[in-house]
Amino acid sequence: MCETGNSNAECGIRNAEYKGRLVPPTDLKVRTRAFALAVIQLVEELPRSRSGNVISYQLLRSGTSVAANYRSACRARSRSEFLAKMGIVEEEADESQFWLDLVTERAMADPARATALREEAGQLVAIVVSSIRTARRAPRSIPHSAFRVPHSSS
């Protein structure tokens, strides 16, 4: 539970870099977006060949999907919707690791950059898995997004 009385999944998640402190959801939104942007930059530099194009497309799709689906999970209207979206984030981050492995093994990009991105994808998988486990354990509550009411123009 965090200071507001909500579960860690609603307030943020724990990450080794933060030494047990809570990572606010906005930080993970920023981190997944930075990952997506780094993937886009790497894909733009991959060779234009039959295999390069296929790997580029698949990596671009999975790498950008991590950020898009995490953003969607933050807007979930129920615990089950949150868990489903976070499951997609986990799958896409794991798939990104796979494509980054191929990029590295085929020497299609700077090995240090591809390895750094692969490690970031692995950290994102670990964070998301931890968040999913926390959300499954947490007592049932009404998600924050259920309280969102559109502002009237009057």
Euclidean distance between CA atoms 65 and 76, whole angstroms = 16
Tokens of 11: 């307030």
Which amino acid is it at 135?
A
- Structure confidence at residue 138 (pLDDT): 73
Q: Which residue has the higher pLDDT, 105 or 11?
A: 105
CATH classification of 26-140 is 3.30.465.10, yes or no?
A: no
With a cut of 80, say whether residue 118 has pLDDT above it: yes
Sorted by where each begins, the domain ranges of the chain are 26-140
**pTM of this prediction?**
0.73
Asked if 28 contacts 62 with a C-beta cutoff of 8 angstroms, the reply is no
Q: In which band, very low, low, confident or very high, does the pLDDT at 146 lie, cut at 50, 70 and 90?
A: low
Burial classification of residue 117, based on how many CB atoms lie within 10 Å of its CB (0-12 exposed, 13-18 middle, 19 or more buried): buried
- Structure confidence at residue 10 (pLDDT): 44
Task: Count the residues in the chain.
Answer: 154
Task: Name the CA dihedral angle for 96, 63, 16, 10, rounded to a multiple of 10 degrees.
Answer: -120
